[in-house]
């Protein structure tokens, strides 16, 4: 490495004395270049965030040049976003009703009951669910959950596309998100708190539910908020199974188009770039981005706070 220029320390030349070691740093211009490249790569992640905002802002300005805010945030059949927000919220709430208990249950088992060996096998099993592509879940909701489960088994008077099936399947999809973050939070609770609870005569269930869970509640909340953000932003399940009609009623048996479903439909259609319909896509996209951004920020800040607690 440094044999050519600096000269290593050690016995050398005629005097028989060791040469003075070279202690100064060798100039390495290439390393400065490499470091600069690395910094640029890291900065790119920030550039992506600003890129998203920049990419959205122009079409959004064009859009609001023609359509006033009051029409956008209304029930207007063509440009109103309100029915889409209602649809998104309904599907998300159904998804959370499925995913919160099941995700927390799985997290509590993994963190409080499973042995280390069992956890090593069981955790990937739960995470398998996250590996299935969402378009496959969408197909499953449309061709199995609605016709076979809801119409066949439960005999419900339900539409061919409906908020219920989409929400249920979406819930299954976000179980791993909630389970894995909540498990991290539960595992972070100090062992001493469990020992204290057990020493007072509580059994395992009481310890889990009344001591560990409350102690980890902020982390669990962060997990739920992140799961919610995932559910709101998920596209293919709702594009296939939740319906393609704007619908601001609250009937879960009817089809409801969501924000992402609307975006997929508009983008898949033949709208020329720059047209009003095409810009609507960006306006809805901006709203979606802002909603998920706020939720993610809430989740990140909760996690930060709970990490400092112990």
Q: Which of 229, 247, 257, 280 binds another protein (CB under 8 A)?
A: 229
Minimum CB separation from another protein for residue 185, in Å? 15
Which residue from 7, 12, 39, 214 is in contact with another protein, where contact means CB under 8 A? 39
Q: Which residues contact 9 (CB under 8 A, 6 or more apart)?
A: 18, 19, 20, 21, 22
The answer to whether 298 contacts another protein (rule: CB under 8 A) is no
Between CA 198 and CA 234 the distance in angstroms is 42
Contact 87, 163 (CB under 8 A): yes
> Which of 86, 90, 96, 104 contacts another protein by CB under 8 A?
104
Closest C-alpha to 186, from 114, 124, 267, 122 = 114
Q: Does 242 interact with another protein (rule: CB under 8 A)? A: no
Name the segment binding another protein (CB under 8 A); options: 64-72, 87-95, 228-236, 245-253: 228-236
Which of 7, 133, 152, 190 binds another protein (CB under 8 A)? It is 133
- Report the residue number, 7 or 75, with the smaller CB distance to another protein: 7
Nearer to another protein, 79 or 262 (CB): 262
Q: Show contacts with another protein in window 153-212 (CB under 8 A).
A: 172, 175-176, 191, 194-195, 198, 201, 203-205, 207, 209
Angle subtended by helix axes 276-309 and 259-268, to nearest 10: 140
Considering the complex, what minimum distance in angstroms separates the CB of residue 158 from another protein?
A: 16
Residue spans of alpha helices (H) in the chain: 29-66, 69-72, 82-108, 116-131, 134-140, 163-187, 191-199, 204-206, 213-215, 217-233, 236-241, 259-268, 276-309
Residue number with CB closer to another protein (210 or 250): 210
């Amino acid at each position: 490495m440094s044999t050519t220029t600096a000269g290593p320390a050690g016995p050398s030349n005629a005097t028989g004395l060791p040469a003075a070691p070279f202690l100064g740093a060798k100039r390495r211009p290439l390393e400065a270049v490499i470091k600069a490249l690395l910094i640029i790569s890291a900065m790119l992640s920030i550039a992506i965030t600003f890129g998203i905002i920049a990419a959205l802002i122009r079409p959004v300005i064009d859009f609001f040049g023609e359509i006033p805010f009051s029409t956008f945030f209304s029930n207007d059949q063509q440009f109103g976003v309100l029915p889409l927000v209602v649809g998104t919220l309904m599907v998300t709430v159904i998804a959370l009703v499925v995913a919160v208990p099941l995700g927390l249950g799985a997290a509590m088992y993994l963190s409080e009951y499973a042995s280390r060996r069992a956890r090593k096998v069981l955790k990937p099993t739960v995470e398998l669910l996250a590996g299935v592509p969402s378009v496959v879940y969408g197909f499953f909701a449309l061709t199995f959950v609605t016709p076979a489960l809801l119409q066949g088994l439960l005999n419900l008077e339900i539409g061919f596309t409906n908020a219920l099936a989409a929400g249920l399947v979406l819930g299954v999809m976000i179980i791993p998100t909630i389970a894995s973050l909540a498990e991290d939070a539960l595992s972070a609770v100090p062992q001493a708190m469990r020992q204290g609870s057990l020493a007072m005569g509580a059994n395992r269930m009481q310890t889990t539910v009344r001591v560990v869970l409350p102690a980890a509640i902020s982390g669990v909340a962060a997990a739920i908020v992140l799961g919610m953000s995932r559910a709101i932003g998920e596209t293919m399940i709702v594009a296939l199974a939740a319906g393609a009609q704007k619908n601001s009623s609250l009937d879960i048996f009817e089809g409801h188009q969501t924000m992402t479903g609307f975006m997929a439909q508009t983008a898949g259609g033949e709208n020329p770039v720059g047209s009003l319909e095409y810009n609507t896509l960006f306006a809805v996209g901006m709203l979606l981005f802002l909603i998920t951004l706020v939720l993610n920020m809430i989740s990140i800040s909760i996690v930060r706070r709970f990490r400092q607690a112990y």
